[in-house]
Structure 1
Amino acid sequence: KVIRRGDVNKGFAEADLIVEDKFVWPKLYYAGAEPGSYVFRWNDDGSLDIWAHTQVPGGFRQAFASYFGLPISKVNIMRTDQGASYGQYVFHMPLIGAALARDLKRPVKLIYDRSEDMFQGGDGCVYYVKIGVKKDGLITAIQMRNIEDLGERGEIGIRGPGEFSFEPWEFIEKMLICPNLDIVTYYVFTNKHPAGAMRCERNSGAYIWNKILSLLELELKMDPTEIALKNIGDVTGNLRKVIEVGKKAIGWDEKWHPPGTKRLPNGRMHGMGFSTTYEWGGAFGVGAVTLNLNTDGSVDVLGHVSEIGQDAHTAYTFVAAEELGIPIEKIRFVDTTSFFMASPGGSGGLATNLSIVRKAARNLKKQILEIAAPAFGVASPEELDIADGYIYVKVNPEVRRPIPAIVKRQLTAFEMGRGPVLHEESYEDFKCWQAHFCEVEVDPETGMVEVIRTVNVNDVGKAIRPESVEGQLYGGTVVALGRNITEESVYCPTTGVRLNDNLLEYKIPTILDCGTIDAIIYESGGGPGEYGNIGVGEATATCCVALFNNAVCNALGVKINENPVSPMRIIEALKKAK
């Protein structure tokens, strides 16, 4: 894949400084709490029942129907509440379980052990980077040669001939005002595990952009937040706003220092880290939902979507309550496979489903007011509104009656479709941004890193359910810390087999490793979705893949161009710098 704009030779000639370096983004494991588990049962009528650990029940249904040559109506998916799978929803092994159940003529339970679950994982990338930059931090040219490791196949990485989901150049091409780019990415297949989503397929892109920030911080002895603001096309000013919110929360202006210059009384080196990208998430699929008004004035939201910890069901009832003017306690979500909503993935589940729930609610409200207009003696339903479950006359709100007193039968509103799509072509398309900060202490004798505090600021446009947004920020921070400091895949150099295929030797962090986490929700209303909403599920974990690494580099004043920043890698970097 080739990305070129401008003239990099001209850009290098204009630069005050040219820096070159090599970086490595390692192939990692998504580390879901629950390995895959499924139950399959074939019925006498030829239908297939599946109890599935999956965040994409609709996709599973279609995949199994296609593979076994069944009408979709003959495949029944029973979704269970589950821990997150972070995009690792492959179909090939579950198909084996269904085939066994068919041949054995009895139900089959398929459970992955941890080693089998670790057959999957993310992509890897090696980057060779050359950057031209002015003394004030303005980048004049970027030249990159990237080698993207898809493993033995790209599980989700291949969109079509020459089209891949993994784009290590993405944030550099789309965010920066730099006029001169020369980027070539080679996609290679190796004898390692297949590359798939790992709470996003944008990890390699976020990693290299934020490591470039760290590299320039080291070379220029310059505040990385200023480097970012000088080079990112912040057309709305929202990036500067979220950065200022984060800087104030962590005390950045008082604590940041040139790299390697602050030793604490306890003998450790003090470090501050920063990372930033745009926020993303828009409709990527089609969903269907039905709202039923019951005769007692309560409302059922009928749909089917995986609950993987984000409490999306509650968010949908919030929207229905807001639009209908009915108290939230009178609205419930009813899980039914009759209406498949968009799956929670790609930071787009809420963006899609908010749109269809909102449209269905407005349709239902329209029906209610049309029935009520004659009872209130008004000429048009537009003269009425609903609040707290009461229909009232707008010009005289004291004239009101409860919905059940007017509507004596059940009403139904069905909606199917997709929400607004976020266009991601250039910095002019981005209105919502994220900025993350952390503070660490590093022992230069042992290489041990202690994370003191992390501050996440995400502009989600509009937070429909703030507690769910905060949960994504907390969880994303823990995931990102693991990718920075503790997690590492060890492979056999001959076979490509992962040697540490267990959670004893593949070390995911616990909350005790994370220090204090401050999750700050910023609401600009700039998202493409309903109410100005934009996705958040992938953002923090992806944007922060270099955050803690950058903080360690700031603490020690040395370059560490590969994760994890383990004690061994830190000691080696310090020896090399002497």
Structure 2
Amino acid sequence: MGVTGSPTNINQGTRTKGGIGESTMRPDGILKVTGEFAYSSDMWHEDMLWGHTLRSTVAHAEIVSIDIAEALATSGVYAVLTYDDLPTSVKNYGLEFQDTPVLAHGKVRHHGEPVALVAADHPETARRAAAKIKIDYRELPVITDEASATADDAILVHENRDDHHIGHVPHPNIVHRQPVIRGDAEAAKARADVVVSGEYVFGMQDQAFLGPESGMAVPAEDGGVDLYVATQWLHSDLNQIAPVLGLPKDKVRMTLSGVGGAFGGREDLSMQIHACLLALRTGKPVKIVYNRFESFFGHVHRHPAKLWYEHGATRDGKLTHMKCRIVLDGGAYASASPAVVGNASSLAVGPYVIEDVDIEALALYTNNPPCGAMRGFGAVQACFAYEAQMDKVAAELGMDPVEFRQLNAMEQGTLLPTGQQVDSPAPVAELLRRVKARPLPPERQWESAGEEADVRALPGGLSNTTHGEGVVRGVGYAVGLKNVGFSEGFDDYSTARVRMEVIGGEPVATVHTAMAEVGQGGVTVHAQIARTELGVAQVTIHPADTRVGSAGSTSASRQTYVTGGAVKNSCEAVREQVLEIGRRKFGTYHPAWATAELLLEGGKVVTDDGEVLADLADVLEGEAVDIELEWRHRPTVAFDLRTGQGNGHVQYSFAAHRAVVEVDTELGLVKVIELACAQDVGKALNPLSVVGQIQGGTLQGMGIAVMEEIIVDPKTAKVRNPSFTDYLLPTILDTPTIPVDVLELADDHAPYGLRGVGEAPTLSSTPAVLAAIRNATGLELNRTPVRPEHLTGA
């Protein structure tokens, strides 16, 4: 499957079946593929009500009046709430700062903003009642781009900003700005034999998870509320929900319900506060489930971006300098935009050695849909542009595009433009070598001697719009650089409680964290870690809730690293306490209890040379060990706001792709035939899951390359395609062959030497596909996604 580099520090339990390094099966896998898994939208409670959110039909307007009388009089309606019904003075929430109103007040700032809530005894009753609410809007001009946002006479999206970024941005409609300056890019430009520049446009992508936003709030006898919800970060939700409800955190009890995908779209709140407000007002359980139309308005999207890049190089192929400007559209509210700016700026150079750089990244406030976290988080947009630039520079020099990248590739010890040293393996050149060395798929696969063409292998697929006469092939390459974990001084930690006891005569471990299992397979890995460290076969994963300390967000490729690290840490402490119990009970019977290094393997206590000292069931008879500990990785610091210098990231991950495409140049149709990937994962704790993550991220990157885009009307800022009929997603018929080459080069700073896996392949798959289409057509193609009219000139 790959290669193994430096030791991966697996110290315990390698002989216990189902431990780390094995492809163990997911406990939720069969239930999900058979349709028996209980998602949050499947929840039911006796006597429950249904909630519904009324959303704005315009993108920017003053709210002149709201009349709820007719809605409230509708039979079956229990409550109608507006901003004036909010119970406390805290009426806003937000991830980084609280600029998002629970319900609109005074004005709406984007199409689909929540304005009112309805609770009724049937979902259709709630919808009909909401339609009876009369809102008088006075429409305002819309801010939709940088020119309209930063003009001297621009309307302010937020009139009274008081967040901590306002002091260093040049205009109140700029959420955050981060330069990164190292060396003297302008002086270095004079040494360049070739200088290449380009302007690039990256479209707005939706996370498009299949399980819509949903949850249930149940009022409790103590005046609190129990919330069962699909989310990515239980404790972050709790910190935003409790102040709005006017409740202490211990009276807002949160339990993770089945999550049908996330990809960043569940980091922000959606229906959580709304359901709780209705439940507390009515005294009844309230369930809210968005339909697909609502879901497009109920969560943030990937930031669309405009990027300008300039690179210089000497005649022998060494990069001399890089300058770039990245403008991200954050939409109406901040969400995670400041962190996305930090990632885009600090990773804007990509996995290359360039001594002299001048980088600027910023995010705007506009009246477009709010944008925030999505897989790849700022690095995706940058990678699209800098990889297109690498192909342009290589072409200008007459060099092979892979060899040019390898010549300039970073390696362990490289200093990034932020001044941070890459202090773990950075096999950029090797990843490129591996994808280039892989045999190409056969040409014209849709043809076979004497047989009719298989239209599924043609551009256009089953629509059968081409017969292959004008189809040409292209091959393209790309490689990306992604950080792992939260950055810029964020106190990123996780908590795990591990309990070990004897049940039914057998030693059993229970792992309890608040980690949101959103499909990434964390529940599988936690069980593997417990088996490895504690030597037990039976491991129970406790449902995630807020009765245990925070596990942080299931995002930034961090959960296996950070919460996995917490599980390992707690397991090690449990193991030591179990051994102390054994020494107390049996230490007088064998000197090895005091003198040897002892391990837990296969349900037994053994010495390091394999001698069995006792069964774990005997050691723990009548005893239980229960330990909850936090675990932190090494600290980071905020980037300097003038120069961008600072050790802002925890870890880096790398992936490379080779795309093979076939294009009907007359009809503008594209078929991605193969997307080969090579990625360094440090240590594959579950190889099958690792490959699945890489293939999933690869396909998501392909989606934004050739079909996925939320279309926003530039005149009205309204979303034009909020459905899966008009927002196109890759299906199994669009999915190419995705061979994966996994490297395991350990990061000595990480648990087991692992690296975060899920995001890196999303970066490089997009520019690889675009590079292949350019190779096939000879067109410049500086925007994504590529549409048929871009290929035909129509």
Asked if Structure 1 and Structure 2 have the same fold, meaning a TM-score greater than 0.5 normalized by the shorter chain, the answer is yes
1:417 aligned to which of 630, 633, 637:
630
- Aligned residue for 2:409? 232
Q: Secondary structure at the match of 1:168?
A: helix
Identity of paired residues, percent?
25
2:590 aligned to which of 377, 381, 384:
377
Q: Secondary structure at the match of 1:118?
A: helix
Distance 1:84 1:431, change over 3 A: closer
Distance 1:282 1:122, change over 3 A: closer
Shift of 1:41: 1.7
Q: After superposition, give the CA deviation of every residue in 1:211-245 in whole Å (9 maximum; x if it has no partner).
A: 22232244334322222222232135622222222
- Aligned residue for 2:259? 82
Say whether residues 1:248 and 2:431 are aligned partners. no
In structure 1, how many angstroms separate the alpha carbons of the residues matched to 2:733 and 2:634? 39
Distance 1:317 1:306, change over 3 A: same
Structure (1/2) with the larger helix percentage:
1
Aligned partners of 2:484 and 2:649 also within 8 Å: no
Aligned partners of 2:693 and 2:758 also within 8 Å: yes
Distance 1:349 1:506, change over 3 A: same
- Aligned residue for 2:773? 552
Shift of 1:394: 4.4
- Aligned residue for 2:103? none
Distance 1:560 1:225, change over 3 A: same
Shift of 1:130: 2.5
1:168 aligned to which of 319, 344, 364:
344
Distance 1:297 1:381, change over 3 A: farther
Distance 1:398 1:352, change over 3 A: closer
Distance 1:441 1:490, change over 3 A: same
Supply the AA of the counterpart residue of 2:345.
W
- Aligned residue for 2:517? 307
Aligned partners of 2:206 and 2:301 also within 8 Å: yes
Shift of 1:37: 0.8
Say whether residues 1:223 and 2:400 are aligned partners. yes
- Aligned residue for 1:343? 553
In structure 1, how many angstroms separate the alpha carbons of the residues matched to 2:561 and 2:184? 39
In structure 2, how many angstroms separate the alpha carbons of the residues matched to 1:346 and 1:409? 42
- Structure 2 stretches lacking a partner, 5+ long: 1-177, 413-424, 444-466, 638-645
Q: Secondary structure at the match of 1:476?
A: helix
Shift of 1:422: 8.0
In structure 2, how many angstroms separate the alpha carbons of the residues matched to 1:176 and 1:429? 18
Say whether residues 1:291 and 2:291 are aligned partners. no
Say whether residues 1:542 and 2:763 are aligned partners. yes
Distance 1:109 1:533, change over 3 A: same
Say whether residues 1:334 and 2:542 are aligned partners. yes
- Structure 1 stretches lacking a partner, 5+ long: 255-263
In structure 1, how many angstroms separate the alpha carbons of the residues matched to 2:772 and 2:647? 29
Shift of 1:112: 2.0
2:277 aligned to which of 99, 121, 124:
99
Supply the AA of the counterpart residue of 2:289.
I
1:456 aligned to which of 673, 677, 682:
677
In structure 2, how many angstroms separate the alpha carbons of the residues matched to 1:313 and 1:376? 39
Distance 1:494 1:299, change over 3 A: same
In structure 1, how many angstroms separate the alpha carbons of the residues matched to 2:607 and 2:322? 63
In structure 2, how many angstroms separate the alpha carbons of the residues matched to 1:393 and 1:29? 53
Shift of 1:186: 4.1
Distance 1:399 1:153, change over 3 A: closer
In structure 1, how many angstroms separate the alpha carbons of the residues matched to 2:785 and 2:392? 17
Q: Secondary structure at the match of 2:301?
A: coil
Q: Secondary structure at the match of 1:87?
A: coil
Say whether residues 1:133 and 2:313 are aligned partners. yes
- Aligned residue for 2:658? 437
Shift of 1:204: 1.7
Aligned partners of 1:422 and 1:528 also within 8 Å: no
Between 1:285-294 and 1:440-449, the stretch displaced more is 285-294
Between 1:545-554 and 1:109-118, the stretch displaced more is 109-118
Q: After superposition, give the CA deviation of every residue in 1:323-358 in whole Å (9 maximum; x if it has no partner).
A: 1223xx322222253324333211111111121111
- Aligned residue for 1:26? 203
Shift of 1:559: 0.7
In structure 2, how many angstroms separate the alpha carbons of the residues matched to 1:44 and 1:31? 37
Distance 1:426 1:369, change over 3 A: closer
Shift of 1:430: 6.4
Pairing of 1:8-23 with structure 2 (within 5 A) = 8-23=185-200
In structure 2, how many angstroms separate the alpha carbons of the residues matched to 1:418 and 1:14? 48
In structure 2, how many angstroms separate the alpha carbons of the residues matched to 1:502 and 1:45? 41
Q: After superposition, give the CA deviation of every residue in 1:509-550 in whole Å (9 maximum; x if it has no partner).
A: 112112211122211012632011111122212332322111
Distance 1:71 1:266, change over 3 A: same
In structure 1, how many angstroms separate the alpha carbons of the residues matched to 2:206 and 2:426? 36
Aligned partners of 1:291 and 1:360 also within 8 Å: yes
In structure 2, how many angstroms separate the alpha carbons of the residues matched to 1:389 and 1:472? 31
- Aligned residue for 2:302? 122
1:276 aligned to which of 472, 479, 500:
479
Shift of 1:102: 1.8
Aligned partners of 1:375 and 1:406 also within 8 Å: no
- Aligned residue for 1:571? 792
In structure 2, how many angstroms separate the alpha carbons of the residues matched to 1:421 and 1:19? 38
Aligned partners of 2:494 and 2:631 also within 8 Å: yes
Aligned partners of 2:533 and 2:600 also within 8 Å: no
Supply the AA of the counterpart residue of 1:230.
L
Larger Rg: 2
Shift of 1:393: 4.1
- Aligned residue for 2:84? none
Q: How many residues align?
A: 556
Task: Compute the TM-score of the two structures, normalised by the length of structure 2.
Answer: 0.66
Q: After superposition, give the CA deviation of every residue in 1:259-301 in whole Å (9 maximum; x if it has no partner).
A: xxxxx99542221121212353247633222222222322222
Say whether residues 1:318 and 2:507 are aligned partners. no
